[in-house]
């Protein structure tokens, strides 16, 4: 509860958003005295200032300490029935939670599930301490010391040195789906994991992240703006809207190269007529727009946004993976190509990958991996952030 003190001592402005139950332990006047800021718990206070979204939108970090079993459950399900849960839903800042509860509640399957879902979304959840709990109980579930929570929380903001602070990035992820009729589509096996890892890493470095998300197996991390799309043409529109105002556009999505030439407004029927039982429709395909190529053309001779493409590649008897990646970099005209090594059990749907990062104009490709996609995402940002022209301007401000 007194995490406010070490955060303020570290020079941060702290806005306390207690839940109704927190006020049973420490009253609003005490919170106001500790934080030096007015305190409210209800979404109906300061309605003219739209506090229920403004607090989350303007925060650089949201710390929930203690995070009760009830709060973890509400956060997992996106329930927004008080000011704190509204803040959690509207923030794009890193979120840190320090759970505290009785051991049985901490180990309960519902809590274990909620913690795992929140972690997958990118919420930074501390392990509780083990020791004396309220009453005579003892075990894991104890709230860590305020200084330890503050240190853990601040480490998430300064993760990787906030090297993308003040910058905006758009990232496409997942695999597009091309509708054939109201019930069928053609798609691909992209899991979206690499794009999610890139979004999480960019947010951890302080960027404002816009995630243009096609079909994926994994949830988007917290703290990023999500725009859902289905087809390549939907994605093209979303990317066109994101073009202005973003410093980097990363095309990590697997975009379908082809779609059906026509869309059947009603379900394509299977014929049961005699002599037609074996018949099947022939689907004519047409090319989809190459979104990345369109971005390169639109940018012309300008240097922003930095454009990053991906390639799933293998080597063969005619060339190595690097030969193919280099040819793609030149052909696409983007600034960076990240080539994923494709093979049995690698890249698609996996948590690990081996990437080759190729930068236009440099003959020093970097190989990274095999490594968790989280780590290769970080290696990719290490390279890409050096190419952002406005970064120097931001840093010298």
Residue in 257, 316, 323, 395 binding ligand C5P, rule: CB under 6 A? 257
Q: How far is the CB of 359 from ligand C5P (least distance, A)?
A: 15
Contact between residue 391 and residue 205 where contact means Cβ atoms under 8 Å apart:
no
Complex with ligand C5P: residue 31 or 324, whichever CB lies closer:
324
The stretch near ligand C5P (CB under 6 A) out of 182-190, 250-258, 273-281, 363-371 is: 250-258
Q: Confirm if 171 and 210 have CB atoms less than 8 A apart.
A: yes
Q: Confirm or reject binding of residue 311 to ligand C5P (CB under 6 A).
A: yes
**Distance in Å, CB of 83 to ligand C5P, minimum:** 40
Q: How far apart are the first and last CA of the chain?
A: 35
309 lies in the binding site for ligand C5P (CB under 6 A)? yes
Minimum distance between the CB of residue 287 and ligand C5P, rounded to whole angstroms? 8
Strand ranges of the sheet holding 168-173, from the earlier edge strand across to the other edge? 225-228, 208-213, 168-173, 248-251, 306-313, 336-341, 352-359, 366-372
| Token pair for 361 | 């104009």
Residue nearer to ligand C5P on the CB measure, 106 or 381: 381
- The residue (of 62 and 215) whose beta carbon lies closer to ligand C5P is 215
In angstroms, give the least distance from the CB of 211 to ligand C5P: 14
Beta carbon of residue 235, minimum distance to ligand C5P (angstroms, whole number)? 8
Question: CB–CB of 213/227 below 8 Å?
Answer: yes
Could you tell me which of 378, 373, 19 has the C-alpha nearest to residue 163? 378
> By CB under 6 A, is residue 149 in contact with ligand C5P?
no
Q: Using alpha carbons, list the distances in angstroms from residue 303 to 64, 357, 390.
A: 41, 19, 10
Q: Please identify which residue in the block is written with the tokens 């180990």.
A: 107
253 binds ligand C5P (CB under 6 A): yes
Which segment (77-85, 247-255, 266-274, 376-384) binds ligand C5P by CB under 6 A? 247-255
Given 150, 232, 357, 383, the residue binding ligand C5P (CB under 6 A): 232
The Cα–Cα gap between 233 and 238 comes to 9
Which residue's CB is nearer to ligand C5P, number 310 or number 368? 310
267: left (phi over 0), alpha (psi -120 to 50) or beta: beta
Residue 264 contacts by C-beta under 8 Å, 6 or more apart in sequence?
A: 180, 181, 182
Would you count residue 310 as binding ligand C5P (CB under 6 A)?
yes
Q: Which is nearer to ligand C5P, 127 or 257 (CB)?
A: 257
- Least Cα distance to 41 among 60, 54, 28, 29 occurs for 28
> Please, are residues 53 and 63 in contact by the beta-carbon 8 Å criterion?
no
Only one of the segments 111-119, 144-152, 271-279, 304-312 lies at the binding site for ligand C5P (rule: CB under 6 A); that segment is 304-312
At 81, list the tokens: 């029935």
Least spacing, CB of residue 238 vs ligand C5P, in Å: 12
Specify the residue, 7 or 238, whose C-beta has the smaller distance to ligand C5P: 238
Min dist. Cβ of residue 222 to ligand C5P (A): 24
357 binds ligand C5P (CB under 6 A): no
Q: Hey, what long-range contacts does 273-279 have (CB within 8 A, 24 or more apart)?
A: none
Q: How many residues bind ligand C5P (CB under 6 A)?
A: 12
What is the spatial distance between Cα 112 and Cα 39, in angstroms, rounded to a whole number? Answer: 31
From 9-17, 64-72, 120-128, 305-313, give the range in contact with ligand C5P by CB under 6 A. Answer: 305-313
Residue 384 binds to ligand C5P (criterion: CB under 6 A): no
Site for ligand C5P (CB under 6 A): which residue of 133, 251, 355, 358? 251
Which residues does the annotation mark as catalytic? 188
Of residues 273-302, those binding ligand C5P (CB under 6 A): 288, 290-292
Asked if residue 255 binds ligand C5P (CB under 6 A), the reply is yes
Cα 71 from chain centre: 22
* Closer residue to ligand C5P (CB): 195 or 221: 195
Nearest one of 383, 347, 183 to 266, comparing CA atoms: 183
CB of 190 to ligand C5P, least distance (A): 9
Question: Do residues 245 and 168 lie in contact, with contact meaning Cβ atoms separated by under 8 Å?
Answer: yes
Distances (CA, A) of 155 to 159, 200, 266, 272: 6, 15, 54, 65
Enumerate binding residues for ligand C5P (CB under 6 A).
232, 251, 253, 255, 257, 288, 290-292, 309-311
């Amino acid at each position: 509860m007194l995490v406010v003190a070490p955060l303020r001592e570290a020079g941060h402005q702290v806005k306390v958003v207690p839940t109704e139950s927190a006020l049973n332990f420490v009253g609003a006047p005490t919170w106001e005295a500790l934080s030096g800021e007015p305190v409210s718990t209800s979404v109906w206070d300061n309605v003219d200032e739209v506090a229920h979204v403004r607090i989350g939108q303007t925060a650089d970090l949201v710390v929930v300490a203690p995070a009760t079993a009830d709060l973890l459950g509400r956060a997992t399900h996106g329930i927004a029935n008080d000011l704190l849960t509204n803040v959690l839903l509207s923030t794009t800042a890193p979120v840190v939670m320090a759970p505290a509860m009785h051991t049985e509640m901490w180990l309960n399957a519902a809590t274990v599930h909620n913690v795992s879902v929140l972690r997958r979304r990118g919420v930074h959840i501390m392990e509780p301490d083990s020791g004396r709990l309220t009453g005579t109980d003892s075990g894991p579930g104890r709230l860590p010391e305020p200084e330890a929570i503050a240190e853990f929380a601040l480490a998430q903001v300064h993760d990787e040195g906030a090297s993308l602070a003040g910058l905006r990035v758009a990232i496409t992820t997942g695999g597009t789906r091309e509708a054939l009729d109201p019930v069928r589509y053609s798609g691909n096996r992209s899991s979206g994991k690499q794009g999610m890892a890139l979004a999480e890493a960019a947010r951890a470095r302080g960027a404002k992240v816009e995630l243009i998300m096609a079909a994926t197996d994994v949830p988007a991390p917290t703290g990023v703006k999500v725009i859902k799309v289905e087809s390549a043409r939907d994605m093209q529109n979303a990317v066109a809207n994101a073009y202005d105002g973003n410093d980097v556009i990363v095309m990590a999505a697997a975009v379908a190269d082809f779609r059906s030439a026509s869309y059947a407004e009603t379900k394509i029927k299977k014929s049961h007529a005699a002599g037609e039982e074996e018949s099947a429709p022939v689907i004519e395909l047409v090319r989809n727009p190459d979104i990345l190529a369109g971005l390169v053309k639109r940018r012309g001779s300008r240097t922003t946004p930095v454009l990053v493409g991906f390639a799933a590649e293998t080597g063969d008897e005619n060339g190595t993976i690097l030969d193919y990646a280099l040819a793609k970099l030149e052909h696409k005209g983007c600034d960076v190509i990240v080539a994923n090594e494709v093979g049995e059990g690698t890249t698609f749907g996996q948590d690990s990958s081996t990437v080759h990062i190729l930068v236009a104009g440099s003959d020093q490709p970097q190989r990274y991996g095999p490594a968790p996609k989280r780590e290769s995402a970080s290696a990719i940002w290490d390279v890409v952030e050096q190419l952002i022209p406005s970064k120097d301007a931001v840093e010298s401000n």
